[in-house]
Chains A and B, each alone.
Chain A
């Protein structure tokens, strides 16, 4: 008996010793929605040089959800006075911008240029000032601030339209009620499908297009100290053409942080004066369709944009150190270098994207 007791203690001691050496196990996976009845839609990254598609378990995409989101995107029903829709500013033929200097919402002109929503699945945070982190949050914000969205009014209007009643049920399952959360989820699902990945530059990555001498030289300028574009418009090896960060690119002159005409990120986080005058780096994709440029739409052409970086940088307290050539006014590119840089930028245009009928107005 004593022998058994001693042996048991020894065995228990050994087991405890082992258990202390074990690593902790992974968390339990999240369960899927039991009410889900839609047709699953898998968003796939376009190639190896694209970031993985982020986890979307909080809003699983469905064919029906995307169809619903597309309808809501183009339908002015969501705006308070039924006057505008998301597509008023985000037109697919303009790579989801509007070609206006400043966007116009339900209240009138805003102070910022419409940012493109292309490839939003990899863009985080969102808005010029980065005030939202997810596409869903961005939809909520934009509906409220651009369309003066009133949830109960919008739901009432949608509930009177049988096609929406049916589609909400198909997209989100039982009980099939229409809610503001489902509206934002459906819009987000549609927006996530807006992927641009078939530009000449993309094709060159797979040997399906050869850059011309001018385009190749422009890419060399882009990627080196000469043009210094790569610091902000590179996302590692990925083809996003934004670092998803915030910079003061010497666009606004200001003697003090309080003198910026637009405080940019400082409006989202007013207590942090370090971020005043900083804006989210926009992607360089589809520039041919997204003019005018910068947060205030001040430049109508790529020539003007490149001339700014070449010769017109302006000092302000939060200017990014990356704008190193500020002390001599800019990069001082010569005429050929400017032409080459623009030639390269134009290789990022994706005609198949702006003409893709899966993004067009479903009511026409």
Chain B
């Protein structure tokens, strides 16, 4: 009787330790431009309006990254992550562990920080917090997305003298992206690739014309004549992301 009790306890321990079947997911963002890998300055890309552009900065803060099950319950991958396509130490990939094995109907994340996350300034969070890698400007708080570059406008020959500066931020420009699956997470290492098509930021449902001064920059200042540029960029984000192959 004593032996049976011991066996039952041990079996229960084994089952409880293994039933979770957690694994790792490497969430990898690839920046593309008109379906090709985005090349940064000094390389150039040509946009849908024939402007030739050198991109110099592209990074964003992600938050509330989660996989969504059929019953709408979620497996959270991370509260916050940071992706920088230019600086190699933040290569656009994030490794998440303890992800339950299973089939999910969608990947969901937000570009930017929710108001609670945005409220904590860098002096109030740990040194290893991904927010430490992002820019923080007092009045704006965290920069959600930073895109910078230079353009030689179509039908001009003056060189790359149209400067492009797009900084989105503030609570009202927080946007949640849902990418439908199915997404299968197996035991072992998983790579989940997400494409970010930069061209669609400017040629999405709310297009922008970078030859116009007020559409060639924004710092998300709500009183600025360029504020609609920050809104359009934020609203075009859903279209720009897709699950990769």
| Choice from B7, B10, B149, B163 contacting A327 with Cβ under 8 Å | B163
| Choice from A18, A49, A230, A322 contacting B123 with Cβ under 8 Å | A49
B70 on the A face (CB < 8 A): no
Q: Is the CB of A11 within 8 A of B164?
A: no
A223 on the B face (CB < 8 A): yes
Total B residues in contact with A, Cβ cutoff 8 Å: 38
Name the residue on A nearest B225 (C-beta): A225
Query: Range of interface residues on chain A?
Result: 20 to 34
B186 on the A face (CB < 8 A): no
| Choice from B17, B57, B148, B161 contacting A14 with Cβ under 8 Å | B17
A270 on the B face (CB < 8 A): no
Residues of B within 8 A of A (CB): 3, 6-7, 10-11, 13-14, 17-18, 41-42, 56-57, 121-123, 127, 135-139, 148-150, 159-165, 213, 216-217, 219, 221, 224
Interface window among A195-203, A207-215, A231-239, A293-301: A231-239
Q: Is the CB of A237 within 8 A of B14?
A: no
Given A7-B3, A236-B136, A237-B122, CB of A273 within 8 Å of CB of B42: yes
Q: Is the CB of A321 within 8 A of B42?
A: no
Q: Is the CB of A224 within 8 A of B161?
A: no
Q: Which residues of B contact A225 (CB under 8 A)?
A: 219, 221, 224
Given A18-B17, A223-B139, A234-B137, CB of A274 within 8 Å of CB of B122: no
Q: Which residues of A contact B213 (CB under 8 A)?
A: 327
Name the residue on A nearest B2 (C-beta): A3
Please give the distance in Å from A170's CB to the nearest CB on chain B. 33
Please give the distance in Å from A268's CB to the nearest CB on chain B. 17
Name the residue on A nearest B127 (C-beta): A52
Q: Which residues of B contact A21 (CB under 8 A)?
A: 17
8 nearest A-B pairs in the assembled complex, by CB-CB distance: A236-B136, A17-B17, A10-B10, A321-B163, A321-B148, A237-B121, A236-B122, A14-B13
Q: Which residues of A contact B216 (CB under 8 A)?
A: 324
Q: Is the CB of B17 within 8 A of A10?
A: no
Q: How far is the CA of A24 from the CA of B147 in the complex (A)?
A: 37
Q: Which residues of B contact A274 (CB under 8 A)?
A: 41-42, 56
| Choice from B14, B160, B165, B224 contacting A10 with Cβ under 8 Å | B14
Given A225-B219, A225-B221, CB of A322 within 8 Å of CB of B148: yes
Q: Is the CB of B14 within 8 A of A326?
A: no
A89 on the B face (CB < 8 A): no
Q: How far is the CA of A223 from the CA of B221 in the complex (A)?
A: 11
Q: Which residues of B contact A319 (CB under 8 A)?
A: 150, 163
Q: How far is the CA of A326 from the CA of B162 in the complex (A)?
A: 9
- Within residues 44 to 67 of chain A, which ones have a CB less than 8 A from any CB in chain B? 48-49, 51-52
Please give the distance in Å from B189's CB to the nearest CB on chain A. 15
Given A319-B163, A322-B165, A327-B161, CB of A223 within 8 Å of CB of B138: yes
Q: Which residues of A contact B11 (CB under 8 A)?
A: 10
Name the residue on A nearest B11 (C-beta): A10
Q: Is the CB of A13 within 8 A of B14?
A: yes
